[in-house]
Structure 1
Amino acid sequence: MKILWDKINKKYELSWLSALIAFSGIFVFTQNIVFWRTVLNLVPFDSIQDYLFVGVMLIVLLSLMAILFSLILWSRRLTLVILIMLLSLSASFNYFSYHYQIYMDRDMLTNIIETNTLEVVNLLNGELLAWIILGAVVPFWLLTRIQIKPVVWWKGIMQRLCLVTGALVIISGTLFGLNFYKDFASFFRNNRQVVKLIMPSSFVASYVSYAKKNYSQAQPFKELGEDAELVKPVEQKKTLMIMFLGETARRQSFSLNGYEKNTNPKLSLQENLVSFQNVVSCGTATAVSVPCLFSKMTRAEFDKVSAENQDNVMDVLQKAGYKVLWRENDNGCKEVCNRIPTQNVSDYTSAKPSAGVLYYDEYLLEGLDNYILAQDPEDNLVIVLHMNGSHGPTYYQRYPNNARVFTPTCDTNRIETCETEVLKNTYDNTIAYTDDVINRGIELLKRYQDQYETSMLYVSDHGQSLGEKGFYLHGAPYMIAPEEQTSIPLIFWGSDEFYQNRNLTLSCVQKKAQQENYSHDNIFHSLLGLLQVQTKEYNPKLNIFTEC
């Protein structure tokens, strides 16, 4: 046994050159399971050329990995620390990408960095642990068998130069010398998302992009709406609007939009309510969509760092004289509420959280009556309620037992193991519960119609995939994201007086809601228009309600 153990535990002393090649091989073969699975599914293997193409891809990937490690691994002491970090990240990513069709880019990395502890806990399970053990711990043990020989600094640099040069020659020779460039160009042009599956280069590239955006491009704060003023006749009542900011709700699961299950039994009975049928989100993750939808910037020009360094529509409303309040029940407002009064549900409710950590969205309404009654009668009010909504994968924890309308349900975080209809039942329960909470908000507003012109706007930050085309959850790169992740609900309700004093025609709004295409780009200007705020920042062409 001792002899066997000694052989297993034997260490191999290698030069930097050999060690970097070994590291590259270990990562290419153990940390790119999803990449290779995707490639093998996409290549038709109709001819010998297809087999040669995959072989050349292996050579190119090994060469590129050698270049990457030559650039990031310099210290013998830090090498193992960096490698175990990359192995752990790669193994975890492979698990989620394998099961949920997740792709790594800057937006996904931002989402990961800004994910709170609760969301991490919801994702943990035994299979993930097994993936990390097999995908990170075992390869790391292999890496610890390698001892790097000490070398004079200039020789180390020369070895790296030789490795990088050799790798570039190999890449050039295989792509151009063997005439495979056209195959690579065609394959990756038609399947650009595949590059985002390569580990650990996708993590490294995403982090470099993230750091560049967040640290290298620091910008002075840009004031918007300094000229903002509320323009409404003196005889009009004050305004009270509640805006529900939904989380992970997709348009396709709302019966108001034609879904076969009755997920909106209460809102469908509300008069003066309009559900917009064709609305798309700015992004596929909260970290992008929330700041984008409140920003003046359109999706085409949106930049997260710029958004954080300028006023958003909530700031402009506050400058115009509105008293604003943000209530939070998700994982943060993504910098949108930095300059306005904010309350977290956990700060004011006496209710106990579900599953020990989660508060149901109904608690966003707790104490709102007292808040409204405590305000000066001359104040115009806007209240934003950021819901936990339909956040996955633990959909079953997002609603109380009495809201469990559709059964059977998928009561696990391993949603890929549930039958499609069972998973949809669970998700649909979150939508039905959202319907109930919004309806409660409208009923609350009705109690104040004698004092205020009241209205409600509901919009989701992005959608959600439930296994369609192999995708689960959200966060797919926008250019390949399925419509389930980008098609979102947008619902508006207003009191009779609210409609009348803005000369809004309900039938016109309903017609536009059925026929026209809208997006998060419209939210900034629609809010300013509905709330009668005049400023040079306002563009009536982007106000959904202008023509009505």
Structure 2
Amino acid sequence: MKPNSLQISPNLLPPIIALYFLVVINLPIAQELFRILTGLEAVKIGFVISIPLFLFAAFQLIFQLLNWPKVAKPIIAFLLISSSMVSYAMLSYGVYVDYGMIENLFETNQEEAASYLSLRSIIWVGMMGFIPALLLFLTRLTKTTWRKFLLAKLAGILGSVLLAAVIAVLYYQDYVSVVRNSPHLKKMIIPTEYLISTTKYLNNTYLKSPVPYQQIGLDARLKPEAKDASKPTLLVFVLGETARVFNYAYYGYERDTNVHTRPYDPIFFADVQSCGTATAVSVPCMFSNMNRPEYSKSRAYNQDNVVDIMARAGIQALWREHDGGDKGVAHTIREKTLVPHDADHLCNQQKCYDTAMLEDFADDTTNLTQDSVLFYHISGSHGPTYYKRYPKAHRAFTPDCPRSDIENCTHEELVNSYDNTILFTDFFLAEAIRQLKALQDQYHVALLYISDHGESLGENGVYLHGMPYALAPKEQTQVPMLFWASPGFAGQKGLDLDCLRQRGSEDAFSHDNLFDSLLGLMDVATEAYSPSQDIFALCRE
């Protein structure tokens, strides 16, 4: 191909790119519209024909506004590549790349991000994004006068607006009806949704004036009964990742995914709702004093959370991290991140198994002289590389899915891999409880486990997590919670375990309860505490 053998008028670039986005990039919304329209009892042919015309007009308007000499090519090339990634994610996993997903993406670590790479995804983005971007750069834009360029641009903009206006007049009621019944459609339009969401995230995170930090629970102190205990209290708090309750044997699942903890007879909470559908939302939310409807990330990151208040009361805390960061929760306490290294038989240079976090358990629990909480943030069931979360010795359900492009595994293989992660997390919890039981002579010991959000495994074509909460399926929002306490812990706290077990099987809870439940369980007295939200309060003498 000779240099500059490809050439095009700069005024033709917007409609050509708009057509490409309509026909190729936006395959996910075309697929969804087909599903919706074929499900209607009656639909106007004219309305169906108008939809691609309306979208073309919208895309053409966008690219007319972006089409300026010297900047058009790099901007459009970026949109081609990034949009091909979004298109692949939506088609393959059924996710929406909205504000929540953008937030989760920016706060995902390198190992998690790499887990989404597969040969199929690389080929898709290469064919749909990089090759069109390369062709764009190889194409010479012919010269024209500014007058002709601006007149053609004005004509293109007015033509798009006029076409959209005519369609709106003719089929306004049809569009309103479809959008109201399927509000998720607007989240599927590429590139508008992810560009708007990214702009909002960058503005909120880096450009907005920071919210003044607010201290709460300044009056926090340990209750007298906690100070007078014969020995310190030690609570192990395990923050799970991507575990959904429906794959728990305790919930009624047909597989015994809780075989390891069953001998310890933990208390299981069957109806617990998450604060979000992604780690970046759920983790700071659950430790804050805000309930889900009122949750604000900027507030959560700029005010004390329950960990801060417990530390202020004199409770010693350590956070061990193995899932991409504490999301601002552990900013005032000691934190240790598990770093993979070949010397550890439970790790290599790329990853570790969660049980590697327990190797320092003895050091973390030696000579404690005050009430303590040991936090473990595990990688649990983080996808799509579920097979990397458990060793071969714990590969109980086969055949599993040893790949990241999980949509190319059978449903059986996918579920087997996911169930193996649930089973291995259960093994982790059992190991933690076993080591806690060995410390009963030194401390009053207990363990509390809760997951940050759930996971979709292909139900209705949806995979992974991160769906907008209002649209999220129950698989992404209903999470498991377990509690185990030694007789000494229960006695010192006046905790009726039978009462708590009944509450766990009958009552509904959520991440909203965690803030007050931790304060209550650790006997922290403060005006910030609300007993009505404390799960344990009604079961204490």
Normalising by the smaller structure, the TM-score range is over 0.9
Query: What is residue 453 of structure 1 aligned with on the other side?
Result: 444
Does the aligned pair in 1 maintain the 2:222–2:314 contact within 8 Å? Answer: yes
- Indicate whether 1:187 and 2:174 are aligned: no
Distance 1:54 1:396, change over 3 A: same
**1:363: Cα distance to partner?**
1.3
The Cα offsets for residues 164-212 of structure 1, whole Å up to 9 and x where unpaired, read as 4443332222111x1x111111111111112212111112111122123
Query: What is residue 361 of structure 2 aligned with on the other side?
Result: 368
**1:213: Cα distance to partner?**
2.4
| 1:62 counterpart (43, 53, 56) | 56
**1:7: Cα distance to partner?**
12
- Indicate whether 1:499 and 2:490 are aligned: yes
Query: What is residue 201 of structure 2 aligned with on the other side?
Result: 210
Q: Which deviates the most, 56-65 or 521-530?
A: 56-65
Does the aligned pair in 1 maintain the 2:281–2:297 contact within 8 Å? Answer: yes
- Indicate whether 1:88 and 2:71 are aligned: no
Q: Scaled by the length of structure 2, what TM-score is found?
A: 0.93
Distance 1:353 1:159, change over 3 A: farther
Does the aligned pair in 1 maintain the 2:317–2:373 contact within 8 Å? Answer: yes
Query: What is residue 36 of structure 2 aligned with on the other side?
Result: 42
Query: What is residue 21 of structure 1 aligned with on the other side?
Result: 15
| 1:291 counterpart (268, 284, 297) | 284
Query: What is residue 175 of structure 1 aligned with on the other side?
Result: 168
> What is the CA RMSD across the aligned residues, in angstroms?
2.3
**1:433: Cα distance to partner?**
0.8
Query: What is residue 8 of structure 2 aligned with on the other side?
Result: 12
Distance in 1, Cα, partners of 2:9 & 2:64: 18
Query: What is residue 98 of structure 1 aligned with on the other side?
Result: 91
Distance 1:350 1:170, change over 3 A: same
Does the aligned pair in 1 maintain the 2:277–2:453 contact within 8 Å? Answer: yes
Q: Give 1:61's aligned amino acid.
A: L
Does the aligned pair in 1 maintain the 2:244–2:478 contact within 8 Å? Answer: yes
Distance in 2, Cα, partners of 1:477 & 1:187: 19
Distance in 1, Cα, partners of 2:121 & 2:348: 21
Query: Which consecutive aligned stretches of 4+ in structure 1 deviate over 6 angstroms post-superposition?
Result: 45-48, 154-158
- Pairs aligned (count): 535
Distance 1:120 1:353, change over 3 A: farther
Q: Give 1:44's aligned amino acid.
A: T
Q: Which deviates the most, 322-331 or 115-124?
A: 115-124
- Indicate whether 1:238 and 2:232 are aligned: yes
Distance 1:536 1:61, change over 3 A: same
Matches within 5 A, 1:529-540: 529-540=520-531
Does the aligned pair in 1 maintain the 2:77–2:136 contact within 8 Å? Answer: no
Q: Give 2:200's aligned amino acid.
A: S
3-state secondary structure, aligned to 2:294: coil
Query: What is residue 303 of structure 1 aligned with on the other side?
Result: 296
Distance 1:341 1:58, change over 3 A: same
| 2:106 counterpart (110, 113, 120) | 113
Distance 1:309 1:37, change over 3 A: same
| 1:31 counterpart (21, 25, 38) | 25
**1:10: Cα distance to partner?**
2.6
- Indicate whether 1:227 and 2:216 are aligned: no
Distance in 2, Cα, partners of 1:224 & 1:158: 60
Does the aligned pair in 1 maintain the 2:277–2:467 contact within 8 Å? Answer: yes
Distance 1:385 1:47, change over 3 A: closer
Q: Give 1:58's aligned amino acid.
A: P
**1:296: Cα distance to partner?**
1.0
**1:108: Cα distance to partner?**
0.3
Does the aligned pair in 2 maintain the 1:349–1:366 contact within 8 Å? Answer: no
Distance in 2, Cα, partners of 1:348 & 1:30: 43
The Cα offsets for residues 316-337 of structure 1, whole Å up to 9 and x where unpaired, read as 1111111110000111111212
The Cα offsets for residues 17-36 of structure 1, whole Å up to 9 and x where unpaired, read as x4333332222222111111
Distance in 2, Cα, partners of 1:455 & 1:397: 29
**1:386: Cα distance to partner?**
0.3
Distance in 2, Cα, partners of 1:533 & 1:348: 39
Does the aligned pair in 2 maintain the 1:282–1:520 contact within 8 Å? Answer: yes
Does the aligned pair in 2 maintain the 1:280–1:520 contact within 8 Å? Answer: yes
**1:48: Cα distance to partner?**
8.7
Matches within 5 A, 1:517-532: 517-532=508-523
**1:348: Cα distance to partner?**
9.5
The percent of aligned pairs where both chains have the same amino acid is 35
- Indicate whether 1:508 and 2:499 are aligned: yes
**1:290: Cα distance to partner?**
0.9
- Indicate whether 1:269 and 2:260 are aligned: no
The Cα offsets for residues 437-462 of structure 1, whole Å up to 9 and x where unpaired, read as 11111112112222222111100000
Distance 1:53 1:411, change over 3 A: same
Q: Which deviates the most, 213-222 or 38-47?
A: 38-47
Distance in 1, Cα, partners of 2:347 & 2:105: 23
Distance in 2, Cα, partners of 1:264 & 1:128: 34
3-state secondary structure, aligned to 2:71: helix
Distance 1:155 1:232, change over 3 A: farther
Matches within 5 A, 1:377-392: 377=369, 379-392=370-383
The Cα offsets for residues 229-268 of structure 1, whole Å up to 9 and x where unpaired, read as 1113243132110100000111011111111101111211
3-state secondary structure, aligned to 1:209: helix
Distance in 2, Cα, partners of 1:164 & 1:218: 38
Distance 1:310 1:45, change over 3 A: closer
The Cα offsets for residues 277-331 of structure 1, whole Å up to 9 and x where unpaired, read as 0011111111111111111111101111221111111111111111110000111
Distance in 2, Cα, partners of 1:119 & 1:534: 39
3-state secondary structure, aligned to 1:123: coil
Distance in 2, Cα, partners of 1:482 & 1:118: 27
Query: What is residue 443 of structure 1 aligned with on the other side?
Result: 434
**1:544: Cα distance to partner?**
1.0
Does the aligned pair in 2 maintain the 1:354–1:397 contact within 8 Å? Answer: no
Q: Which runs of 5+ in 1 are unaligned?
A: none
